[in-house]
Structure 1
Amino acid sequence: MKRIAYWLLILWIGLILPGGAATVVNAAPDTTLTADQLEQVVDNVMEANMDKLHIAGSAVVVTQGDDILFSKGYGYGDVEHRVPMDPASTLIRIGSLTKPMVAAAVMQEVERGLLSTDTDINQYLKTFKVPVFGKRPITLHDLLTHTSGLDQVMYNVVSLSEGKTVPASEFLRQYFLKQSPVREPGEQYDYNNINFGLVGNLIEQTSGQTLNDYLTEQLFKPLGMPSVSMEKGSVVPKSYQYAGEGNYRLLPYEHFNIPGGGAINVVPNEFAHFMVAQLNQGLYKGQAIMKPETIQSMQDLQYTAHPQLDGFGYGLMRGKLANGMPILWYTGDVEGFSSKMVLIPSERVGIYVVVNTGEGGSLLYEQVIGGIEKLMDGGAVPEEPEVSAGDLKQYEGRYAYRLSPQHGWGKWITFFERNSFDVKPAGNKLEVSGVFPLGSGKVEHRTFYSIGDQVFREQGGSQKLWFHQVEGTWKMTGIDSATLEKTGFWRQSSTLLMVLAGICCFWIGLAVVYLVRYLVRFIRKGKRPISGKIAAISLLFAVYLPVQVIYGLMKVTYGFPLWYRWGIGSLPLVAFGIAVYMLVGALSNRALGKWTIAGRVFIAGITVFCTVYLFYWNMLPFHYS
């Protein structure tokens, strides 16, 4: 699912524009592609990049009009058995590309009058209710455009065992008990798997069917997709992680507790049928999955942060190719699979690229799409005139966005986020530095010039950034469709991580000192007293902190077992209790020297600080937020 460990979780602020403000029209194509042209371009990209990016296997499918024009696999779909990647038979996982299909399914229910896009979703939910932040309730429109204001979902979203999964309705009920919304709906775009997990369950509660059964009956069968399923079958999609020296490690199959967010498995050629329907007013081989006006509403502009920035439809992102052609697109990343769908309505062309080794997947599919794009003449993209930007110093600073939740387990994952960009004036322009999505993978320095209304355009490129203030805080919207917030030193992830590292080093160092002291006393058979309470406190923290960081990072998406939550998670509370007992004893024992008392008071104070710190970051069995 897009984007827990990748650029999954993105933010946007702005206003909602009318759906008809900018319509993508399925016009007659100006370009006729040929299979030979496509094969030559894609072959060249694969030959130049697959080994370099350590990709085990990839498939490319291109549709034009009503048919698949080009379909070819590269490398292996099954590395262990040397089975080639075949887009006609290799089962793959599409991750967040499940979302456009779930959006289509729920819009079928809107079309039938069972749901409305602008009605409080609580009117349709039977087994739980969604809390309201502020005055306006969440609607289907908010969920489909990722503007619901719901907190990021991270904890226990997947399971390695089908037997450990929970029904989506129960997962969502528990989620809303622990994680309330963080902003009013419609206020800000925030890519979040919980939105479509909730859409999927909304389909279940209104149709009386499981999401898999509904999609099979209403979408997969009409589209001629017999291989597709949201459940693990006898044939298991295989994805890999590069292990060095030409070796690949098979990644485990994950089961989703909210399947609407990214659980679909399908053969690439069959997924192409969905692209054909999107580009042909809802028709595939004479079968209509919905009315043309419903398809159009999915593709129309439903939300944008600023009129000069690309916006969103329902389950589809809007944008432009480098040659200026309007497109609809979406990506999907899950357990090593990385894929992208691009629809070009003006040409009635659909492109789907999937990679089964995720580390270099986005770089590869962008190269493929870029090569195909060059076969279509979109005309020259005009440069926009530069206008005076005023005081550029006001924009200077570090901008970051968080992928972690604000409530519940996982809040502390923000310590490890590295999604930040440094902005500074460069003459009459701005220099923005950071690791850009779909870039080189390294820190790049790009220059942006003002085109008015606090919007800046990349020099020599098409990327646009919009700077704006919200309650006195500067924000920057545009990089990977995200809104990044200007952060002070003490709120930056690097600073928070340094504080955590300092706490770890202090307690581990103190534990080592006391262990050495006990060892020396034992060897020398000395009788000098050593504080067992301080030793116990330091050992408890020395055990807890590394385990929490390492195990917590590895397992947070799978959920923590009871022994971990209340066993390991309670160690700081035990240390806190010892510290309070030691403090009371030190202050009431007049026989102790002043330096001994001072030392114990200091350690007790540090213990209290660390326990409160861990409580604030939701690292204890009970949480601050």
Structure 2
Amino acid sequence: MFKQVIARFAAVGTAALALVGIVPAAASADPASGVPLDGLDSLVSGYVTDALFANDVPGAAVSVVAGGQVVYSGGFGVADIAAAEAVDPERTGFLIGSQTKLFTAQAALRLVGEGVLDLDADVNDHLGDFQIDDAYPGRPVTLRHLLTHTAGFDDDNLIGSGGTDAAEIPDFAERMAAVQPERVRPPGETVTYSNYGYSLIGYLVQSASGVPYDRYVADNVLAPLGMNRTTVSMPYPATIGETLATGYSIDMGHNDPVELAYADTPAAGAGPVSTSADMARYMIAALGADPRMGPGAEEMLRPQYTEDASLPGMGFGWEQILIGGHPAWFKGGDFPGFHGTMFLLPEYGIGLHIVANGDGYSGGGIDGFGLARQIADRYLPSPAPPTAAATPDADATAYEGWYHSSRTSQNSFYKVKALFERPIRVRATDGGGIVTDGIWADGIAWVQVAPGHFQRPGTWDRLVFGEDGTIALSGATEVLERTGPLEHPYPHMALLAAAVLTALTALVWLPLAALIRRRRGMPSPSRTARAARLTAWTACASTVGSVVLLVALAAVPSQFQVALATASVPLLAMLILASLTVPASVALAGFTAAAWSRGWWSRRGRLGYTAVTVATMAFAAVAMIYNMTGPSFT
């Protein structure tokens, strides 16, 4: 989500476990640009060692390249806690997550260069087994849209998308057709990160080339660069699988192995493996425009889309950012238990790749941005950020309000993440400025330097309000959209809290009241009245049970991802219980009307029953808003 993305640009992250070994390369400078890199070994090892200990991450590997060669290669901590096996940057495999998108983009661009694919043609022209819905007639999705995350797809439906056995992975075409998200925005109008979009590129590569995606990438992307310990195939080749690190998430203060190993969208990053040394080879090739990368690869590091001309934008696969004021390219990769970041500074021929096999307390492994900034601060010039001069007579009241990520799902269960995420608030200040809460931190002041354009004084950070009311932020792969009064999670959380409190009370009150009636020898209620009480108790149990399961699942982000991907029993139980509250609400409404018209129970009893009905209806409404109900849960 958006706050996870922008948090990467904030303070240096933390992580834990001892340094096991560093393998420094021979070079200590960039011969091509003349940038001195003296002391790089101690800078990197000190930073990573401190981060491992502080954040409780088992292991990591780092590569730095400059001038067309590896100038640093280091392994830290352990690849597997139980085996106490040290991380080897040459051999230890890490799941690289979305960094796989670079391989996918490169494969597609090769086919473009060969005239097999067209950047601006309707992708349906190459989809034989299924078609992308024509939600915006005359505005088809193109390969260019997919490569720049501007196709307009809703966020992905992840339920049942992975497992621990490669045999569980369904056919590529079947999966792509079955989980096609709705198109919720016209293509080409705004950037919103899409895993489905890159999975679709992978399928286009397979469909257009006539070669399975994994084999095409192996033969045309990896092999030419000598990336022999990298694979997008599943199950993994034995030589790679046997040296794969174990990913970990922290639960109750302990590092627990993450069980998820496979998913059915490898082209987007779910499952592929590489080593730190292989990713160094990739960085060298990208920085040097190596012809072995194939035709069209040079377009990956050129601006292809931006929300505003004053902001960094998207390349093909890569994302534009600034590091210490220097233009750079970034690609992150996250998979439950694994987190990596990669940076290129083309002007200086420098690249950095860092990957870790643990979520750590931060949930994101080791903060690679912090290390990149330290390298830039020590070895590169320090340009001064532009002066934030306020626009005379500016007013920002039109921008006030609450905002949420454009990546918030509209139609899948993944929308439930928004329930646990704090929306971003914008407040206007005197002089036309604004203060934001939730972008990097709370209380950050911005100066309006041009109509709708704001800069954070003393920094390179910039945000722009679009004519459609969205906020574009430098370095982000999604925009912020206004949150309407009925979309705000705070009232929804209040309703859930009230519903759970009422349900918990009723779970005790309903059987206790029945017991008291029996002991006092009071007349037995009618069969219908007893059914009404049983329905109320069942609805309350469903409400409490679904909330308990949801909180337990969401407590550890990586484990929540695993539960989604594997369609775990607790997840399905939670969804079934939440779904039961919908028909229960209808039944309770009928029973409530009957109770008042027929005089069931005492007035206090009828009021209590009405409260249960209202609470169940409130919970069911929230569950429906967040797509927690229905047979398909999508």
TM-score by length of 2: 0.84
Q: Which of 261, 273, 277 is the aligned partner of 1:269?
A: 277
The question of 1:516 aligning with 2:512 is answered yes
Cα displacement string for residues 33-60 of structure 1 (whole angstroms, at most 9, x for unaligned residues)? 44x5210211221343321222221111
Q: Could you list the per-position Cα deviations for residues 76-115 of structure 1 after superposition, in whole angstroms to 9, with x for gaps in the alignment?
A: 2222222122211111111111111111111111111110
CA contact 2:387–2:457 (8 Å) conserved in 1: no
**Which stretch has the larger CA shift, 458-467 or 231-240?**
231-240
Name 1:112's counterpart in structure 2.
Answer: 114
1:526 to partner: Cα distance = 4.5
Distance 1:350 1:603, change over 3 A: closer
Q: Distance in 1 between matches of 2:433 and 2:587?
A: 57
Secondary structure of the 1:297 match is helix
User: Structure 2 counterpart of 1:452, which letter?
Assistant: A
Q: Which of the numbers 412, 415, 433 marks the counterpart of 1:411? A: 415
1:558 alignment partner, one of 551, 560, 566: 566
What displacement does 1:121 show? Answer: 0.3
Once residues 2 and 482 of structure 2 are traced to their aligned partners in structure 1, the CA distance between those partners, rounded to angstroms, is 22
User: 1:309-366: CA deviations, max 9, x gaps?
Assistant: 00111101012211x3211111111112111111111122211011222234465322
How far, CA to CA, are the matches of 1:464 and 1:519 in structure 2?
A: 65
For 1:297 and 1:277, how far apart are their aligned partners in 2?
Answer: 14
Residue equivalent to 1:22: none
Partner residue of 1:248? Answer: 255
Amino acid at match of 1:465: L
The TM-score, its normalising length taken from structure 1, stands at 0.85
Alpha-carbon distance in structure 1 between the residues aligned to 2:475 and 2:3: 17
Does residue 433 (structure 1) correspond to residue 437 (structure 2)? The answer is yes
Whether the aligned pair in 2 keeps the contact of 1:330 and 1:342 (CA below 8 Å) is: yes
Deviation at 1:413, TM superposition (A): 3.5
Residues 586 and 601 in structure 1, CA contact (< 8 A), matched pair in contact too? no
Check whether the contact 1:615–1:624 (CA below 8 A) recurs between aligned residues.
Answer: no
- CA distance in 1: counterparts of 2:396 and 2:543, whole angstroms: 42
Query: Does 2:326 correspond to 1:325?
Result: yes
The one-letter amino acid paired with 2:356 is: V
Alignment match, 1:366: 369
Q: Aligned match of 1:204 in 206, 211, 226? A: 206
Instruction: Provide Cα deviations, 1:543-586, integer angstroms capped at 9, x if missing partner.
Output: 32344345455433433669749954552255246336536755
**In angstroms, what is the RMSD of aligned CA positions?**
3.2
* Structure 1, unaligned runs of 5 or more: 11-26, 437-442
Q: 1:538 corresponds to which letter in structure 2?
A: A
What is the match of residue 588 of structure 2? Answer: 579
User: Partner letter of residue 505 of structure 2?
Assistant: G
Aligned to 1:463: 461
Q: CA deviation at 1:611?
A: 4.4
Shift of the 106–596 alpha-carbon distance from structure 1 to 2, 3 Å rule, reads: same
Residue 68 of structure 2 is aligned to residue 66 of structure 1: yes
- 8 Å contact 2:154–2:411 — kept in the other structure? yes
Aligned 1:342-381 pairs, distance under 5 A: 342-359=343-360, 360=362, 361=364, 364-381=367-384
Distance of 1:499 and 1:119 partners within structure 2 = 47
- What is the deviation of 1:609? 6.1
| Residue matched to 2:26 | none
Select 2:230's aligned residue among 228, 231, 237: 228
Instruction: Look up the SS of the partner of 1:52 in the other structure.
Output: helix
8 Å contact kept, 1:341–1:351:
yes
Q: CA deviation at 1:31?
A: 3.3
Q: Which runs of 5+ in 2 are unaligned?
A: 9-29, 554-559
Q: Is contact 1:143-1:196 (8 Å) kept? A: yes
For residue 140 of structure 1, what is the amino acid of its counterpart? L
- Specify the alignment match of 2:35 in structure 1: 32
Task: Give the drift of 1:468.
Answer: 2.8
Q: Which residue of 1 aligns with 2:304?
A: 302
Indicate the residue corresponding to 2:97 in structure 1. 95
Corresponding residue for 1:144? 147
Query: Aligned-pair distance for 1:64?
Result: 1.9
Post-superposition offset of 1:435 = 5.5
1:8–1:192: 8 Å Cα contact kept in structure 2? no
CA change 1:83–1:608 in 2 (3 A) is closer
Q: SS of the residue aligned with 1:118?
A: coil
Q: 1:565/1:213 Cα in 2 relative to 1: closer, same or farther (>3 Å)?
A: farther
Task: Output the CA distance in 1 between the equivalents of 2:251 and 2:605.
Answer: 53
Q: 1:119 to 1:350 in 2, by over 3 A?
A: same
- Do the aligned partners of residues 475 and 566 (structure 1) sit closer, same or farther apart at CA in structure 2, a change above 3 Å counting? closer
Instruction: Give yes or no for the alignment of 1:619 onto 2:615.
Output: no
Deviation at 1:424, TM superposition (A): 3.6
What is the rounded CA distance, in whole Å, between the counterparts of 1:205 and 1:259 in structure 2? 15
The 1-side partners of 2:259 and 2:283 are apart by 29
Corresponding residue pairs, total: 588
Shift of 1:373: 1.3
User: Counterpart of 2:495?
Assistant: 499
Partner SS state of residue 546, structure 2: helix
CA-CA distance at 1:207 after TM superposition: 2.1
Q: State the Cα deviation string for residues 397-431 of structure 1 (Å, max 9, x = none).
A: 33222544211333344222235244341655322
Distance 1:490 1:614 in 2: 14
Which residue of 168, 171, 188 maps to 1:167? 171
For residue 522 of structure 1, report the CA deviation from its aligned partner.
Answer: 4.5
